[in-house]
């Protein structure tokens, strides 16, 4: 079986830069003090490694392994008030945040990361690596963005259900923040009761300030044996919602090999 991929490239916006958009839409720290636990009226435990640390946002772009110092700037919310929640795990270059299962409670635990956002109209790209502890158990995790480090402030932008892989796999999502200043990215473990555990590492965030075209649209296609014919409409807008004002490049890949490279194609043609 052969796989045909169409890629579009903006060539009119940034001198010396070329951006690719795949057909499926993908885009190719401070000292600490002792822990403090705060009780809320709506029962929930918030673990702050240090009140001052937890309010120091990370500056975009960043990649968090994380280190223990970086983890100490997270806010951990044990929303179901059991004895299991997110913790720092590992040493040296092999570190992660880890949620351990409970025998009696379904997971409802958040790890909030403070981020400094200067422009709420900029598109951001989040990526991270994640795995389950055992392949026999299905785990669930969702990611949100919001103005506060509480579940109520979160707008969910990614929902990963029933994953079982025990080797790290990369996940990603693009989103626009809900405002400027300190925004919070929340990792929510929401697996069922008595599962195994979730590990997350290499959390990266970048602002997509350069134009990235939307994926080309295949309007018609036909196959005759090994011959494949397709009618492709070139995108007229970028992922950021702006119109493409110049020509774009179109590449046709067959089994990851470039078979056609058209450097100047006009949008909507």
Q: Rounded to an integer, what distance in angstroms lies between the CA atom of residue 61 and that of residue 124?
A: 10
For the chain, domains (ranges, CATH) are 4-25+212-265 (no CATH), 36-208 (2.60.120.200)
- pLDDT, tens digit only, all 269 positions of the chain: 444 444 554 433 333 333 333 334 434 333 333 333 333 334 455 555 544 455 799 999 999 999 999 999 999 999 999 989 999 999 988 999 999 988 899 999 999 999 999 999 899 999 999 999 999 999 999 999 999 999 999 999 999 999 999 999 999 999 999 999 999 999 999 999 989 999 999 999 999 987 777 677 787 888 888 787 888 777 777 777 778 777 777 788 888 888 888 888 777 65
Distances from the Cα of 172 to the Cα of 27, 46, 91, 125, angstroms: 9, 27, 25, 7
In the prediction, which pLDDT does 14 show? 31
pTM: 0.71
Other residues' Cβ atoms within 10 Å of the Cβ of residue 224: 7
In the prediction, which pLDDT does 7 show? 52
Query: 75-78 and 62-64 as β-strands: parallel, antiparallel, unpaired?
Result: unpaired
In the prediction, which pLDDT does 213 show? 73
Q: Rounded to an integer, what distance in angstroms lies between the CA atom of residue 173 and that of residue 123?
A: 10
Structural contact between residues 198 and 99, judged by C-beta atoms closer than 8 angstroms: yes
- C-alpha count within 13 angstroms, C-beta hemisphere, residue 111: 24
In the prediction, which pLDDT does 45 show? 53
- List, for residues 152-172, the tens digit of each pLDDT value: 999 999 999 999 999 999 999
In the prediction, which pLDDT does 26 show? 39
């Amino acid at each position: 079986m052969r796989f045909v991929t169409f890629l579009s490239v903006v060539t009119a916006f940034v001198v010396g830069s070329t951006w690719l958009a795949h057909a499926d839409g993908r885009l190719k720290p401070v000292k600490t003090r002792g822990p403090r636990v705060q009780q809320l009226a709506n029962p929930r435990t918030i673990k702050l490694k240090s009140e001052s640390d937890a309010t120091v946002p990370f500056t975009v772009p960043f990649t968090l392994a994380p280190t223990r110092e970086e983890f100490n700037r997270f806010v951990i919310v044990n929303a179901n008030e059991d004895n299991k929640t997110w913790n720092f795990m590992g040493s040296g270059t092999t570190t992660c945040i880890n949620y351990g299962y409970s025998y009696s409670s379904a997971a409802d635990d958040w790890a909030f990361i403070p981020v400094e956002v200067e422009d709420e109209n900029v598109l951001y790209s989040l990526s991270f690596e994640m795995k389950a502890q055992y392949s026999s158990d299905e785990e669930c995790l969702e990611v949100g963005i919001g103005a506060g480090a509480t579940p109520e402030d979160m707008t969910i932008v990614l929902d990963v259900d029933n994953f079982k892989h025990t080797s790290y796999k990369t996940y990603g999502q693009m989103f626009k923040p809900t405002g400027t200043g300190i925004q919070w990215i929340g990792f929510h473990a929401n697996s069922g009761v008595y599962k195994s555990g979730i590990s997350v590492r290499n959390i990266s965030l970048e602002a997509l300030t350069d134009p990235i075209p939307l994926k080309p649209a295949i309007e018609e296609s036909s196959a005759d044996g090994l011959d494949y014919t397709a009618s492709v409409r070139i995108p007229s807008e970028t992922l950021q919602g702006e119109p493409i004002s110049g020509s774009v490049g179109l590449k046709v890949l067959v089994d990851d090999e470039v078979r056609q490279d058209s450097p100047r194609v006009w949008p909507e043609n």
